[in-house]
């Protein structure tokens, strides 16, 4: 039925118009991640009909998951992407260079400076887990301005600066050892003890630089007395173990966990954290070389263009678990290398070309630096064999 002038349009015309609007709205529905889509991208591509998304929204068209065009829908379920989804078009993905920079930034793993308190974790347990010492709770407490040892789970705490804390710990260890060696001059000892107590207080309150300075001051007060008696070296590794090496003078007393071990000159001891000091170990002596003598000129009959065999020998070293043998050219190039058991003090070399060689032997032991012998030189030369050619004399 045709409508009159100024009246409503015919029903069929209104239905066709509604269907056309619905078809346009369907094309603008949101797409899943990676699927070609429409919607807002038409605006980025200078679509002459920028109001399509609004038309779609007015007519109530929805994408899968109940998400309107331009909306978000279920978190993470749907995402809008430009139509055609080509990287080179405006409004599309990040450029590859920016994407690589983003990945590199996210994959960086700096040293942690903070920690989150776990469920039912006390401050002492946290200090033992992170600092290796439950007494470090006082450091965490002072560093974070806490007034109580009870810390709610989920609290974020600052951690001590590793370099500053290690420096202070080394200075404190050296000062304690120096004080333990001083038996004379009571006034100087008392002054050093007071300085050491001051350093320990600074350390417990997380003032690590002040602790290191005070501990160094205590060591300086004792330096003249200790230097006249013994010299030693103290180091603390990343695992918290302390190594003491004594060079000269009387034995140095090393105490840990109520156990004391004297360390004599030439000895060293490595004390694990929370463990008593073990029996000190003397550094390995260097093996004495025996044969061949220095500068030996060894004549051998060539076999397949090489000379041999040559046997090297040396003296046994107490405490060695094996020996490492190296043969080098005069220029220092490695020619032969072998490791033999501690019960073996000789090695037969394989045939070598004629020439001059240097050789050395190292005493080996687990946990100790190899002790190398002095070098010796020998030379291999061909021994010419004279052949007699002729008929034998017959009687």
How does pLDDT run across 110-160, given as a tens digit for each residue? 556 888 888 888 888 888 888 888 888 899 989 999 888 888 888 899 989
Whether 342 maps to a domain, the answer reads yes
What's the number of CA atoms in the CB half-sphere (13 Å) around residue 233? 6
Q: Are residues 373 and 297 in the same domain?
A: yes
Whether 361 maps to a domain, the answer reads yes
Q: Are residues 333 and 366 in the same domain?
A: yes
CATH number for the domain that contains residue 142: 3.10.350
Question: Would you state the pLDDT for residue 281?
Answer: 77
Q: Are residues 55 and 118 in the same domain?
A: no
Q: Taking all residues of the chain, what is their mean pLDDT, rounded to a whole number? A: 74
Instruction: Tell me whether strands 252-256 and 259-263 are parallel, antiparallel or unpaired.
Output: antiparallel
> What span, in angstroms and rounded, lies between the C-alpha atoms of 290 and 312?
8
Residue with tokens 């991640």: 33
Question: Would you state the pLDDT for residue 61?
Answer: 42
State which residues form the domain around 141: 114-158
DSSP 29-64: S---TTS---TTHHHHTT-S-TTHHHHHHHTT---T
Q: For the whole prediction, is pTM greater than 0.85?
A: no
Contacting residues for 232 by C-beta, under 8 A, at least 6 apart:
177, 244, 245, 246, 247, 252, 263
Q: Are residues 142 and 59 in the same domain?
A: no
Whether 392 maps to a domain, the answer reads no
Question: Would you state the pLDDT for residue 228?
Answer: 52
CATH number for the domain that contains residue 355: 2.60.40.1220
Residue 92 has pLDDT above 50, yes or no: no
pLDDT digits (tens, 9 = 90+) for 196-205: 899 999 999 9
Question: Would you state the pLDDT for residue 14?
Answer: 61
Q: Are residues 371 and 305 in the same domain?
A: yes
Q: Are residues 86 and 125 in the same domain?
A: no
Strand ranges inside the chain, DSSP E: 114-116, 156-158, 231-236, 242-248, 252-256, 259-263, 268-271, 289-291, 296-300, 310-314, 322-328, 334-341, 346-349, 355-364, 371-372, 376-382
Q: Are residues 65 and 133 in the same domain?
A: no
> What span, in angstroms and rounded, lies between the C-alpha atoms of 164 and 58?
65
Number of domains the chain is built from: 3
Whether 40 maps to a domain, the answer reads yes
Whether 79 maps to a domain, the answer reads yes
At residue 217, what are phi and psi to the nearest 5 degrees?
Answer: -65, -40
Q: Are residues 42 and 69 in the same domain?
A: yes
Percent of the chain with pLDDT over 70: 65
Instruction: Tell me whether strands 296-300 and 376-382 are parallel, antiparallel or unpaired.
Output: parallel
Q: Are residues 131 and 84 in the same domain?
A: no
């Amino acid at each position: 039925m045709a409508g009159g002038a100024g009246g409503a349009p015919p029903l069929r015309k209104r239905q066709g118009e509604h269907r056309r609007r619905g078809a346009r709205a369907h094309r603008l529905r949101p797409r899943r991640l990676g699927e070609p889509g429409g919607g807002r991208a038409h605006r980025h591509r200078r679509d002459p009909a920028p109001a399509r998304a609004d038309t779609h929204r007015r007519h109530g068209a929805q994408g899968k998951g109940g998400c309107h065009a331009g909306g978000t829908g279920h978190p993470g379920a749907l995402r809008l992407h430009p139509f055609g989804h080509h990287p080179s078009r405006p409004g599309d993905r990040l450029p590859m260079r920016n994407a690589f920079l983003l990945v590199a930034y996210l994959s960086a793993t700096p040293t942690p400076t903070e920690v989150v308190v776990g469920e039912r974790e006390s401050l002492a347990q946290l200090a033992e887990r992170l600092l290796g010492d439950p007494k470090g709770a006082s450091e965490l407490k002072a560093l974070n301005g806490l007034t109580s040892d009870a810390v709610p789970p989920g609290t974020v705490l600052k951690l001590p600066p590793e370099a500053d804390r290690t420096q202070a710990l080394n200075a404190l260890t050296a000062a304690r050892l120096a004080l333990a060696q001083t038996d004379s001059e009571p006034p100087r000892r008392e002054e050093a003890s007071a300085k050491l107590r001051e350093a320990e207080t600074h350390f417990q309150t997380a003032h690590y630089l002040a602790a290191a300075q005070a501990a160094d001051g205590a060591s300086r007060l004792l330096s003249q007395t200790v230097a006249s008696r013994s010299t030693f070296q103290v180091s603390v590794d990343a695992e918290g173990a302390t190594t003491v090496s004594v060079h000269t003078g009387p034995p140095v007393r090393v105490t840990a966990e109520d156990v004391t071990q004297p360390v004599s000159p030439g000895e060293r001891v490595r004390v694990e954290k929370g463990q008593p000091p073990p029996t000190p170990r003397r550094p390995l002596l260097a093996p004495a070389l025996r044969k061949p003598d220095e500068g030996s000129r060894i004549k051998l009959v060539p076999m397949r263009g090489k000379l041999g065999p040559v046997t090297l020998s040396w003296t046994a070293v107490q405490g060695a678990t094996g020996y490492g043998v190296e043969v080098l050219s005069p220029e220092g190039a490695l020619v032969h290398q072998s490791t033999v058991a501690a019960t073996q003090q000789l090695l037969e070399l394989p045939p070598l070309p004629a020439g001059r060689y240097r050789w050395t032997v190292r005493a080996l032991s687990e946990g100790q630096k190899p002790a190398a012998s002095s070098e010796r030189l020998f030379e291999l030369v061909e021994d010419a064999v004279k052949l007699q050619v002729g008929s034998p004399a017959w009687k």
